[in-house]
């Protein structure tokens, strides 16, 4: 039987892997500012995944139920934030290729993906369903097992963002300033589309 950490690693990687608005933000950050900026963007999502994983693993049903009851509001907040980020991306000027990632930019990248992930109520449903199937969500007494699972989820999610940022970073030197401007426009439009879908689909 696989250790719980390894199971959590696979779960975290699998939940993070589908490319949606978070993945698009990570790709954009990597292309514009390098692999470190992309990984930091992914770190925000991984931290939010770990929080939701903790709620599911420790069987904190009160918090889970509250989040599910507020899913309409959370989708509205998350969708509006996506529209804002998309607009900022669409109207942003292409950066200088020698631009260095500032600490404030790193914090904003982390905070953006953290807030977007934490306002997605479907994440808690995903973790709750998977953990229930593995018998973790109900095993409140097995705190060590829950901790191992959550640590694995965080590591697996972060691993995906390293892989994605690393792959995109390999093509960064081939992207010129004109193409970076196109990246801003396309990613901005797609991110806004994700936001609109989140809002009208609530």
pLDDT digits (tens, 9 = 90+) for 165-178: 998 888 777 766 66
All residues at 6 or more sequence positions from 73 whose CB lies less than 8 Å from its CB, including other chains: none
Question: What is the CB neighbour count within 10 angstroms for residue 175?
Answer: 16
Residue 43: which pLDDT band, with cuts at 50, 70 and 90? very high
Q: Is residue 81 part of a domain?
A: no
Residue 192: which pLDDT band, with cuts at 50, 70 and 90? confident
Q: Is residue 85 part of a domain?
A: no
Q: What is this structure's pTM?
A: 0.75
Cα-to-chain-centroid distance, residue 126:
14
Instruction: Report the half-sphere exposure of 7 (CA within 13 A, side-chain side).
Output: 19
CB distance 80 to 195 below 8 Å? yes
Is pLDDT of 99 > 50?
no
Q: Is residue 143 part of a domain?
A: yes
CB distance 83 to 201 below 8 Å? no
Q: Is residue 182 part of a domain?
A: no
Is pLDDT of 140 > 60?
no
Q: What is the mean pLDDT of residues 138-156?
A: 76
Q: What is the mean pLDDT of residues 44-73?
A: 78
Number of independent structural domains in the chain? 1
Is pLDDT of 119 > 60?
yes
Q: What is the pLDDT of residue 26?
A: 87
Q: Tell me how far apart the alpha carbons of residues 65 and 169 are, in angstroms, rounded to a whole number.
A: 40
CA angle 20, 65, 108 (to 5 degrees): 40
Q: Is residue 86 part of a domain?
A: no
Mean pLDDT (the chain, rounded): 78
Query: Residue 123 belongs to what domain range?
Result: 4-75+96-170
Q: Is residue 166 part of a domain?
A: yes
Q: What is the pLDDT of residue 95?
A: 55
Q: What is the pLDDT of residue 98?
A: 45
Q: Tell me how far apart the alpha carbons of residues 174 and 13 are, in angstroms, rounded to a whole number.
A: 28
Question: Closest Cα to residue 196, out of 96, 86, 90?
Answer: 86
Q: Is residue 137 part of a domain?
A: yes
Q: Tell me how far apart the alpha carbons of residues 101 and 104 are, in angstroms, rounded to a whole number.
A: 8
Q: CA 51 → CA 57, 123, 133, 173, distances in Å?
A: 10, 10, 19, 35
Q: Is residue 44 part of a domain?
A: yes
DSSP reduced 3-state for 123 = helix
Q: CA 53 → CA 2, 111, 154, 198, distances in Å?
A: 18, 18, 8, 22
């Amino acid at each position: 039987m696989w250790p719980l950490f390894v199971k959590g690693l696979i779960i975290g990687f699998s939940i993070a892997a589908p490319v949606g608005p978070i993945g698009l933000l990570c790709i954009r950050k990597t292309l514009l500012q390098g692999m470190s900026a992309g990984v930091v963007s992914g770190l925000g999502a991984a931290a939010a995944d770990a929080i939701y994983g903790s709620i599911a693993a420790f069987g904190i049903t009160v918090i889970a139920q509250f989040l599910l009851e507020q899913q309409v509001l959370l989708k509205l907040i998350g969708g509006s934030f996506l529209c804002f980020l998309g607009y900022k991306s669409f109207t942003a000027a292409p950066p200088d290729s020698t631009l260095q990632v500032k600490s404030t930019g790193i914090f904003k990248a982390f905070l953006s993906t953290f807030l977007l992930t934490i306002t997605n109520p479907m994440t808690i449903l995903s973790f709750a369903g998977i953990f229930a199937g593995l018998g973790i969500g109900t095993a409140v007494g097995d705190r060590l097992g829950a901790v191992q699972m959550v640590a694995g989820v965080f590591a697996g999610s972060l691993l995906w963002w390293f892989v994605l940022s690393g792959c995109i970073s390999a093509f960064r030197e081939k992207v010129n300033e004109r193409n970076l401007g196109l990246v801003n426009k396309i990613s901005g439009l797609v991110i806004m589309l994700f936001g609109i879908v989140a809002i009208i689909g609530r």
